[in-house]
Amino acid sequence: MKFTSVFDIIGPIMVGPSSSHTAGAVRIGKVARDLFGKKPTWAKIHLYGSFAETYRGHGTDVAIVGGLLNFDTFDTRIIDSFKHAKEENLQFEFIPETANKEHPNTARIVLGDEESELSIEAISIGGGKIEISEVNGFKLRLTGGMPTILVVHNDRAGCIANVANILAMHDVNIGHMEVSRIDRGSTALMVIEVDQNVDEKILTQISLIPNITKVSKINT
């Protein structure tokens, strides 16, 4: 059997010299785009540890911007993502930070448009795999390896049960679920990993539940 490159053997298929610094970085940008739910017009990208030290040489910068443009890890347009960002009126800024994080390949992305904004913190753990550790101030652990629904809601009785009932009604199986809240009775976040990609109609149905304020998803 013949391989064209080492990445055909170890995966994932990707553009760039490093699975941690390029493929993982693309996925971080892409997950941020998915969670925002639309094309952002601006992004501030804070880099920590190894990301901050080598982001230009290892292509982490073009990789994250490519992800924000919704490119996949194997998309050859990644190397020209700055040009494509300009064409799509996406303004971005890289901010190398000196503060220490638990993982050396950490990025914090704040992105938005004229109507709303989102912040995520994520790490690239190698082999193109990532973990999202924070979304809009909510601490969580999200790999993006399974289709995932994120539901922001008021911390009221019945919200979790109502969401679970709608998923069950559509035969959507929950593989893992966690709920976090900033303060008791305030805003909470459901992170629901499911076994299949979820149709937009189901998400719309969830969004109409009382006390639900925002629904977004990450497809695999």
Looking at the chain, list the stretches that DSSP marks H as alpha helix, in order from N- to C-terminal side.
7-10, 24-36, 49-54, 60-68, 81-87, 159-169, 200-207
- Tens digits of per-residue pLDDT, 107-131? 999 999 999 999 999 999 887 788 8
pLDDT higher than threshold 90 for residue 17: no
- Domain ranges in the chain are 7-142, 148-218
The CATH code of domain 7-142 reads 3.30.1330.90
At the fourth CATH level, the homologous superfamily of domain 148-218 is: ACT domain (3.30.70.260)
Question: What gap in Å lies between CA 156 and CA 219, rounded to an integer?
Answer: 27
In this prediction, residue 12 carries a pLDDT of: 45
Question: What gap in Å lies between CA 130 and CA 147, rounded to an integer?
Answer: 14
- Tens digits of per-residue pLDDT, 135-189? 998 888 877 678 999 999 999 999 999 999 999 999 999 999 989 887 888 899 9
